[in-house]
Structure 1
Amino acid sequence: MARLIDETGGAGRTAPSGDGFQSARGEGSLGASHRSVAVSEGGTLFRRFLAFLGPGYLVAVGYMDPGNWATSLAGGSEFGYTLLFAVLLSSVMAIVLQALCARLAVATGRDLAQACRDSYSRPVSFVLWALAELAIIATDLAEVIGTAIALKLLFGLPLEWGVLVTALDVFVILWLQSRGFRRVEAFVATMILVIALCFVGQMILAQPAIGAVMEGFLPSASIVTDQRQLYLALGILGATVMPHNLYLHTGIVHTRAFGRDEASKREAATFATLDSTLALGLALLVNASILILAAAAFHASGHGTVGDLEEAHALLAPLLGSTLAPILFAVALLASGLSSTVTATLAGQIVMEGFLRLRLSLVVRRLVTRGLAIVPAAGIIILYGESSANDLLVFSQVVLSLQLPFAVIPLVMMSGSRAKMGSLRAPVWLLALAGAIATLIVVLNAKLVIDFLGGGLGA
């Protein structure tokens, strides 16, 4: 039984956790979007699956946001195809963790923020909320910088102005949500398609060595022993397995009005997991393509480290012999920034409502979150110049990696709880795999901190 606290801080009613129990306000995640997408009880299996198709792509876009670009470009240009294994490993980890998210959401009727609030004391919940908000700000920082760089590459807009222009995306998000949650999903899916097509074009132009690419997906000891490789590998991990996506997925699964009986919930968990797995498979291809492009275009030609997005854009045309390549690069970057900003806003809404039961208007929520990203981004760029933008991108991804344990560990623990999950408790093999992933994240992050404090990491 979970003891709920009402809005004024007094003791509220006692209610069973799980089985779709709503918050004290009588609403679920994302307010009006909660259970707004109908799920047919009849029809073919494929038709019922189509009703669940969509949330996985909102999750996937967070795995190919502008933060991925800086880390993957730096990794590919400096170490060739070696860090493709880090991309593959982080994608597999993401698939496992998002599968737990789908199962937790369906089984308990709660998103991860609500479940943490129900399970932990107020001080612990507050710390978890603060860390989740920090992760969302780090995510937004990457999106602000990436979108601003794309605007500069396409339209020549100065980076400082581009950072400020990104605040206007709040109106895009408001319009999309006013048209229904399916429109939000359609917008994000379209942006993912644009990104994928742009990278297909660039891969054709780059013509990477297939044998070397396949070898790059195999593990290499240097990823752990070389501190610079470890730093970039953790950056890739932070850019791929993102803390806010765990909260996001557990919230947006509730946009589906699936049945509350045991059979319907089992089917919903299966379909939601399949949806996210397919979407994350596409994200793996996109993320790998970024690193492969950097390895084929920059490392193979001896240019060394090219982590700067603008430098990469400028070098693509002469190296690949086509003026189309840099245009595709900039368009994909803009699509990445625009789509990932939608999911960061939704995650922020879920985190704030779930932990604090505080509901802000989308305008206020978006402007506050984006302001916390815009102010430091603009300030650092003005003080240190545009060359600092790339360092901020990579650093934001490492910050995300350091926040991961504080979202992953509660997720794994709750997924293994029979009291919370009932018959939908995750199987032992899945819990063991997720536990190994959580342990690996903690160990690698500990090594990163030790190396950083010892001054052994190059930025």
Structure 2
Amino acid sequence: MLNPTPLLPVERDGFSAARGSVRAAPGGGVFARFMVFVGPGYLVATGYMDPGNWATSLAAGSQFGMKLLFVAVLSSLVAILFQALSARLAFAADLDLAQACRRHLPRPVAIFLWATQELAILATDLAEVIGTAIGLGLLFGLPLWLGAIVTALDVALILAFERFGFRKLEAFVIALLIVIACCFALQLALARPDWSAAAHGLLPPADLLSNPTMLYLAAGIIGATIMPHNLFLHSGVVQTRATGSDLPARREAIRFAMTDSAIALLFAMTINGAILILAASAFFAHGQGEVTDFSQAYRLIAPILGAPIAAKLFGVALVACGLNSSLTATLAGQLIMDGFLRLRLRPVARRLITRALTIIPAVTVTALAGEAATGQLLVLSQVALSFALPFALAPLVWFTGSRHVMGPLVASRAATYAAAALAIGLSLLNLKLIYDAVAG
């Protein structure tokens, strides 16, 4: 139940030092004020196109063509709702999700939730390490274990952004997203997809429920899309925007933040859709079904499309995606640690600890069992994320539907009921994915 003592002062330590640091110019119009809020949504969007999403989209497109495009779109629309609730919590309660858990829940419950989300951060970072290392190996021929070690150098980026400010970090992330988008646009131009089939793929496939393999891949797409750390990340990074304390100003901030995240997640949906369409056009259409790993896709895409640059574009996009996701996972980890424990670590220290805990198993498994064993690590990371997701969704839906926490900016009953139903459905789906992964 909720803690009945909500009048404690709001914390302003750790990551909170950046809160309110991005301000609108005096006298600006609506568009100028909105542009101040553009950025956090794109940090969140990187988590929706991480290596786990790539793997499911590749498998879906290579096995079933465009049929599961509908599922990719549906999962992104669901994500928009939950990220909107995350932004609402930030401006209505002046708390991020981790802080709200510590303030309004019994301490043992909050500590348990913190442990589940630390597990999710480690699982996310493990997937980013493996994905980036594979990309570096494809582009430069590095052994996977060496590529995993090289990924630790992104700590230098954390140092740079710690010095130059939060807005520069957002600009860097958006720049990498543009690189990813350009890579896939060029690959799609080379693949010449059947756009009428893509349009038909936006409709639910008739055999979705009757085909167990298709249903399983659809569940994988949905389960890999909603990332628990993104809910904590969004509720924290939007508070870097300065806004008035009066009710109209906070309503406007919520509206702008929700618009920013919706546009950014539609962009992420476009990228995920492009991966699926590319896999359908390059592999499914040429009889290459069940392309499930990045190395296989890299080897096949150039000869099928008749352009060596297609493989290089694929590798560049994979590295950019892994780098982006690892940066935002570091921010999420910092918010989770600050919010739950009030334990302040510099982002660089946080990054080194997390990266050490993920590089060591990746390098060890690769050295002892070979690169093929990293696939099992990716499966393990997705199981961990599936386990952690309900423990992020439940408090978010509870808090945003509570007038005690949110005051007059409480979410509507329709939004709360829809989010609760989706949270239950996603939790059951993730339990199914955990069972399937454990059962092989």
Mapping 1:223-242, distance limit 5 Å: 223-224=208-209, 226-242=211-227
CA distance in 2, matches of 1:168, 1:447: 37
CA distance in 1, matches of 2:35, 2:106: 39
Match of residue 381, structure 1, among 340, 350, 366: 366
Post-superposition offset of 1:215 = 2.4
CA distance in 1, matches of 2:393, 2:29: 35
Between 1:331-340 and 1:383-392, the stretch displaced more is: 383-392
Say if 1:232 and 1:399 are closer, same or farther in 2 by CA, change over 3 A: farther
Match of residue 310, structure 1, among 289, 295, 299: 295
CA distance in 1, matches of 2:231, 2:375: 26
> Is contact 2:386–2:433 with CA below 8 Å preserved after alignment?
no
How much identity, in percent, do the aligned residues show? 54
Say if 1:230 and 1:121 are closer, same or farther in 2 by CA, change over 3 A: farther
Alignment root-mean-square deviation, CA: 2.0
Between 1:225-234 and 1:325-334, the stretch displaced more is: 225-234
Is 1:54 the counterpart of 2:39 in the alignment?
yes
CA distance in 2, matches of 1:166, 1:344: 14
CA distance in 2, matches of 1:419, 1:52: 27
Match of residue 198, structure 1, among 151, 162, 183: 183
Say if 1:77 and 1:392 are closer, same or farther in 2 by CA, change over 3 A: farther
Between 1:76-85 and 1:394-403, the stretch displaced more is: 394-403
Is 1:16 the counterpart of 2:4 in the alignment?
no
Post-superposition offset of 1:363 = 2.2
Say if 1:54 and 1:402 are closer, same or farther in 2 by CA, change over 3 A: same
Q: Which residue of 1 aligns with 2:264?
A: 279
> Is contact 1:65–1:239 with CA below 8 Å preserved after alignment?
no
CA distance in 2, matches of 1:385, 1:224: 37
Per-residue CA deviations over 1:436-458 (Å, capped at 9, x if unaligned) read 211210222233345456x4x5x
Q: Which residue of 2 aligns with 1:8?
A: none
Say if 1:109 and 1:225 are closer, same or farther in 2 by CA, change over 3 A: farther
CA distance in 1, matches of 2:87, 2:222: 21
Post-superposition offset of 1:180 = 0.6
Per-residue CA deviations over 1:184-212 (Å, capped at 9, x if unaligned) read 00000000000001000011111111222
Say if 1:366 and 1:399 are closer, same or farther in 2 by CA, change over 3 A: same
> Is contact 1:177–1:183 with CA below 8 Å preserved after alignment?
no
Amino acid at match of 1:75: A
> Is contact 1:138–1:400 with CA below 8 Å preserved after alignment?
yes
Between 1:366-375 and 1:29-38, the stretch displaced more is: 29-38
Post-superposition offset of 1:297 = 0.8
Q: Which residue of 2 aligns with 1:7?
A: none
Post-superposition offset of 1:249 = 0.2
Say if 1:341 and 1:446 are closer, same or farther in 2 by CA, change over 3 A: closer
Say if 1:105 and 1:221 are closer, same or farther in 2 by CA, change over 3 A: farther
Between 1:328-337 and 1:237-246, the stretch displaced more is: 237-246
Post-superposition offset of 1:3 = 6.8
CA distance in 2, matches of 1:208, 1:339: 28
Between 1:198-207 and 1:383-392, the stretch displaced more is: 383-392
Is 1:349 the counterpart of 2:334 in the alignment?
yes
CA distance in 2, matches of 1:95, 1:68: 16
Post-superposition offset of 1:397 = 3.0
Match of residue 21, structure 2, among 36, 44, 54: 36
Is 1:83 the counterpart of 2:83 in the alignment?
no
Mapping 1:278-427, distance limit 5 Å: 278-427=263-412
Post-superposition offset of 1:398 = 4.2
> Is contact 1:306–1:312 with CA below 8 Å preserved after alignment?
yes
Per-residue CA deviations over 1:29-62 (Å, capped at 9, x if unaligned) read 6133121111345321000001101000000111
Post-superposition offset of 1:156 = 1.2
Post-superposition offset of 1:214 = 2.0
**Could you say what secondary structure the match of 1:101 adopts?**
helix
Q: Which residue of 2 aligns with 1:9?
A: none
Match of residue 120, structure 1, among 94, 98, 105: 105
**TM-score, scaled relative to structure 2:** 0.95
> Is contact 2:124–2:381 with CA below 8 Å preserved after alignment?
yes
Post-superposition offset of 1:392 = 3.0
> Is contact 1:95–1:276 with CA below 8 Å preserved after alignment?
yes
> Is contact 1:230–1:448 with CA below 8 Å preserved after alignment?
no
CA distance in 2, matches of 1:213, 1:149: 29
* Residue ranges of structure 1 left out of the alignment (5+ in a row): 5-13
Is 1:92 the counterpart of 2:91 in the alignment?
no
Q: Which residue of 1 aligns with 2:417?
A: 432
Say if 1:405 and 1:314 are closer, same or farther in 2 by CA, change over 3 A: same
Per-residue CA deviations over 1:101-134 (Å, capped at 9, x if unaligned) read 1100000010000001111111111111111011
Matched residues, number = 440
**Could you say what secondary structure the match of 2:148 adopts?**
helix
Per-residue CA deviations over 1:121-166 (Å, capped at 9, x if unaligned) read 1111111111101111111011101111111111111111000111
Match of residue 246, structure 1, among 222, 231, 234: 231
CA distance in 1, matches of 2:302, 2:112: 47
Say if 1:451 and 1:156 are closer, same or farther in 2 by CA, change over 3 A: closer
**TM-score, scaled relative to structure 1:** 0.91
CA distance in 2, matches of 1:167, 1:397: 22
Q: Which residue of 2 aligns with 1:129?
A: 114
Amino acid at match of 1:333: L
Q: Which residue of 1 aligns with 2:54?
A: 69
Per-residue CA deviations over 1:286-308 (Å, capped at 9, x if unaligned) read 01111111111111111111111
Between 1:77-86 and 1:302-311, the stretch displaced more is: 77-86
Say if 1:451 and 1:328 are closer, same or farther in 2 by CA, change over 3 A: closer
Q: Which residue of 2 aligns with 1:259?
A: 244
Post-superposition offset of 1:234 = 3.5
